[in-house]
Each structure stands twice: as C-alpha cells, then as structure tokens.
Structure 1
Amino acid sequence: MTTVPGSALGLDAEPLAGYIGATITGVDLRENLDDVVIAEIRQALHQYKVIFFRDQQIGHAEQVAFARRFGKVTPAHPHEENPPEGFPEILPIDSRRYEQNLGRKRTSYDNSWHTDVTALVNPPAASILRSDILPPYGGDTTWTNLVAAYENLPKELRDFADTLDIKHQFNTQATAGSQRERKVAEANLAAYHPAVRVHPVTGERALFVSPGFTRGPREIRGFSPTQSERILALLWEEATRTEYTVRFRWQPGSVAFWDNRATSHLAVSDAGHLGHERVLYRVTLEGDIPRGVDGRESELVSGQPFYGS
C-alpha cells in the first residue's frame, strides 16, 4: 500500500499495474466526504488515470452525489431516453437492454476500445461506473494510459501525431428502425479532435484516439481514407499496448472512476455468449473542448455540445 503524494490524510492507494490503475481504500462513498478527501481522490485520479473502490454500498443517489463533488454531472447520454426513474444522470450498462436494442446477446454496448462519447466536441472529463448485477466470471473491463502511450512513442512519431486532427462520430450498430438508430441519427454527433490533446489540469499530453468512434470511413484531415486507416491502426496499436493497461475484475460493491481525458477502455466480451447478465451504472462529468499541443481546439462538425448541471 502506498500513500498518494501530498496527501494530508494519508489516502491509501494500491497501484495495480506499472502505468495505470490503483485501488483506493479507507473511503466510504456513502459519506459526505470533506474537501480534503475529495482533493486527494482527484489527485489520485490524475496520477493513476483510473482508480477503484471496493465494497461500496451505494445506489443511484449516492453515486450522483459523489460525482457532483468533482464537477457538473451530465445527463446520462446524448442518446439515452430511458434512464432510471428520477435519475436522469444515470446510464444503465445493461446486457438485457443491448439484447433488445441490438438484437444479440452482449454484456456491453461497445466492445471495442474507446474513450467515452468522443463524437461530442466536449467529451466527458471523467466517468464513474458502479457494479450491480455481475456474471459469476468474465465481464472484466480494461483501461489503457494514453499519456504513457504518447510519451513512449519515438520523437518523430510524437511530432507527426501532434499535427493530426481525427474525425470522431457515432456508428449506430443498432437494429434498423430501432429507437437507438433514430436517436443516433437525430443527434448526429461528429467532431474533429487533435490526435494529441493537452490535459487541462496536469498539462500532460495524451494520444487521443478512440477506435469505437471512428468506425466507417476513417478520416484524418488532409489524408485519404486508406491513408487514415493505416495511420490510425498504428496509433491504436501503440495506445493499447499491454504494458499500458490494467484489467479490473468487477465484484459486488465495485466502483471505477476514470479520467476520460487520459484513458481509453475496453469491456471484455467474454460473458454474454454464456447467457450471463451484467448490469452496471455510469455517470459522466461535463468535459472541456480538447486542445492540441499548439493550442488549437477541437471543431464541432454536427450536433451540440453536452453540458451538465
């Protein structure tokens, strides 16, 4: 067990991998935590990129209240029409809904590497996910450290990536004529983001690629679809190298809190085919408009920014 640097209260953090991830202990998320504890959790988040809490007995109200200590909480999702009653901020990650909306059994909507909702011009700053119904085994989630991925690129490749702008948009993956397909078309979210973004708090540079939001014709500004495909494939391979990742096994009472500006994640698709159900609940914090290393901002292509309250 280690102590978060600069921690006044000695917040305990157990690192889980060499580049990313730590379990935080000694915190009860049901409590109204004081500002010092919140500041230490925020510091741990910036240091480890994703932090985990175990054995937490919280529901929707406590999850939303905890999230509000770190910023404005957004509505559940730009495409969500049926959040839990009374909790418009909560997005169910529910295998039962995916079977209904997508026509096939799966434990997560998006089983590819992605950073949350990067089709927005202001993607969420962070996400908080808590477990509810879990399979007896399988259904883990993996995160990767996009800062480490960038910092370990050869300088020539870093310099090249610094100049790129990538188009992010939604691909429905939904049944034709379904509510999901209609919502995606109505929102029509798309944005150009710098391939390398500067973190607004830490100043770190992160490789900002999100395969889940660049399906279909690949598009890097100034390059053909074929060229874009090959460049992105190289960047994705670097971003998801095993040494930059941490894999988390969900248990009852588990909560994950990740910096969406410095990570991508992957829901491991190894439980749905067994018929197991998996239900988790997510909230997201309002994000800023990403900036590249030269100060250029992401550009809105279509849709609207996503604000919290």
Structure 2
Amino acid sequence: MTETTIADQNTVRALRLPGYPIPVGPFTHLAAERERLAGLRWQHFDARPIGATVGAEISGIDLTTDLPPATIAEIRQALHDYKVLFFRNQPLSAYQHVAFARRFGELEIHPALGSNTGQPELVRFEKTAQVAGFENSWHHDVTWREQPSLGAILHAIEVPDIGGDTLFADMYAAYDGLDDETKAQIEHLDAVHDFTRAFGAFATEEQQAQMRAAHPSVTHPVVATHAATGRKHLYVNRIFTDRIAGLDADEGRDLIDRLCRAADAPEIQVRLKWEPDTVAFWDNRAVQHYAASDYWPQRRIVERASIVGPKPSR
C-alpha cells in the first residue's frame, strides 16, 4: 500500500480493501477530538485518556462516599466528553452502587435479567463453568425500550485472571467516519428494535408472542442526536435492531450490517482489563460495548445499574 498525504484523508477514510470489513487509512478525522480530550483538566479528580476518542481512567475519587453535587456534575461532564469512565479500587457495596447511580437519574428495573443482591436496580451477571458468558456482540443496552438507558455503571466483584475484558466503540466517530452519501441515505431512516431478538432466541413461538405483548417493538432513529452534547451518533446494533422501517428485509439487514461494521475499527475503540472493584460508567448512547467471552470456565461476577434516558431523537 502506498503512503498518502493529509490532503488525501477523505479518500483514505473511505478506502476499503476487497473482502476487508473496515476502512483502511490513518483515521485523520479523529485527531481534533483526540487533542481536545488530551487537553481537558478537572477540579475534583484526575483523568487519563486511554483511547484516541473514547475512554479515560479516573483517579483521586472515592465512589463509596457521598460525593458533593459539584463532583457529580463534573463526573457527568467527563462522561459526555470521554464516553466511558474507568475507576479502579472502588469497593462498592450493592447499596453504595445504587446510591451512586441514582445521583445521575432514575434507575431501571430489568424485566428479564435478575438481581441476587437485594437491590432490584442491580442486574447481576454471574458466569461460571456451568453458566458461560454470551454477551460477545456489539450493542447498546435495552434499545428495545421506548426510553433506553442513558448510561450504565458496572462494578466488578470477581473477575478471571485472564480474559473477560469489555470493549467500547465510539459511535460518534463511527458516524463521523461514514461517507457523505451514506450519511444522506440514513439521515431520516428509523430502525425497529425488538426485545425478542436476544431474549426470545430460545423461546417457542408462543413464548415469543407473550414477550412481544409485554414488550412491543419500538422505533428509534438510525442516526440520533445526543440529548446532552448535540452530536450525531449511530443508533443501530446487532443484538436488538430487527429491521429498517420502510426497507425490504434484505436491503434493511444489509444496511444494518454495514452500519454496525462502522464500529469495528480498533481506532475508535477502547478495551478495559477488569480488576476486582473496577467500575466502568459508560454513556449508552455514545458507545456500544462488547463483553469478550474468552474466559470459560473461570468465574466472572459483575453488577450493573442502568439509568433511564430520554427517548432518542434526531
């Protein structure tokens, strides 16, 4: 492959090799955001950016305490900037986990995933030799809801020595990296999100019908505008997005696949290696995440609190 100049960046950004699913090139459109994030400074904690445009490790803060409103406001702003925050050495009790999450809004109760902690707002993911992990697909959480979560806070209780990482992809950057023709094509499209695509995978037709009655399909924009930042981001995912409204099934599925592949580039991702008492707080609109299922039969126990968000809009 020949070298290219910065003047060629738009061509390079759109360059695809035959059979290769993601763009090839220097991803020069990430530079401005990378430099902006590198220059941010905070009053109540320190932040170290990890990915080019996504992810920061936060230090100098204790999440087990009753943090003052100014600190909570700064965490919220950091979340909007870095898209996902990582906190190490945070031995949260279930009560403290819920109390911290509530500082950012109303919490969800998940209808299908259970809690074993006595705190119904916490979803507990307990993977063992008998219960293997299967969350290894890129997704936003609960997009089958009319009001999907605006963010989630995950606390690691027990983690494998090797494996079990979580990856996050910047969906602003995924959208920004699309060519102008694709942006115009998807600007006014809506996608249908269905609870049963994941939770009904092994259900009978009768059970799926009951699920759909309890959780009807919902429609969200393919390109949403973040309620806090005003930035556009892709809002389709492989787990819950069922089809594109107004397109035939094959055309819609091809488009969903193409848009999801926009998040596959490592240049717009960050990877978290868990340790016990690590906390990850991600913006469920600005990022998708992927839980690597490479640790069986080791144990992995994490708990998640999710914050109710607004209905996605253009």
Q: Give the TM bin, normalised by the shorter chain.
A: 0.7 to 0.9
Superposed CA offset, 1:164-188 (max 9, x none): 11111122355547xx979845633
In the TM superposition, residue 59 of structure 1 has moved relative to its aligned partner by 1.3
Superposed CA offset, 1:274-302 (max 9, x none): x111110000001110101xxxxxxxxxx
Match of 1:7 in 2: 42
Larger Rg: 2
In the TM superposition, residue 85 of structure 1 has moved relative to its aligned partner by 4.8
Superposed CA offset, 1:199-235 (max 9, x none): 1111011111111113xxx421111110011111110
Superposed CA offset, 1:244-292 (max 9, x none): 11010000110000001111100111112xx111110000001110101
Superposed CA offset, 1:32-78 (max 9, x none): 11111111111110001000000111111111011111111122x12
Indicate the SS of the match to 1:219.
strand
Indicate the SS of the match to 2:262.
helix
Aligned residues: 274
Unaligned runs of 5+ in 1: 100-104, 293-309
Indicate the SS of the match to 2:137.
coil
In the TM superposition, residue 192 of structure 1 has moved relative to its aligned partner by 1.0
The change in CA–CA distance for 1:28 and 1:173 in structure 2 (over 3 A counts) is same
Q: Does 1:106 align with 2:132?
A: yes
Indicate the SS of the match to 1:279.
strand
Whether the 8 Å CA contact 1:78–1:187 is kept in 2: the answer is no
Of 166, 177, 183, the residue aligned with 1:158 is 183
Match of 2:34 in 1: none
RMSD (CA atoms):
2.2
Match of 2:19 in 1: none
Structure-2 separation of matches of 1:186 and 1:220: 21
Whether the 8 Å CA contact 1:94–1:280 is kept in 2: the answer is yes
Match of 2:118 in 1: 86
What one-letter code is carried by the residue in structure 1 that aligns with 2:236? V
In the TM superposition, residue 3 of structure 1 has moved relative to its aligned partner by 8.1
Superposed CA offset, 1:52-107 (max 9, x none): 000111111111011111111122x1223x423531101001114x95xxxxx422
Q: Does 1:73 align with 2:73?
A: no
What one-letter code is carried by the residue in structure 2 that aligns with 1:231? L
Match of 1:255 in 2: 279
Whether the 8 Å CA contact 2:38–2:49 is kept in 1: the answer is no
Aligned pairs for 1:172-183 (under 5 A) are 172=199, 175-176=202-203
Match of 1:283 in 2: 305
Indicate the SS of the match to 2:239.
helix
Q: Percent identity?
A: 37
What one-letter code is carried by the residue in structure 2 that aligns with 1:196? V
Aligned pairs for 1:1-309 (under 5 A) are 5=40, 7-9=42-44, 11-75=45-109, 77-80=110-113, 82-96=114-128, 99=130, 105-108=131-134, 110-170=135-195, 171=197, 172=199, 175-176=202-203, 184=211, 187-214=214-241, 218-272=242-296, 275-292=297-314
What one-letter code is carried by the residue in structure 1 that aligns with 2:231? E
Structure-2 separation of matches of 1:181 and 1:92: 24
In the TM superposition, residue 16 of structure 1 has moved relative to its aligned partner by 0.7
What one-letter code is carried by the residue in structure 2 that aligns with 1:44? A
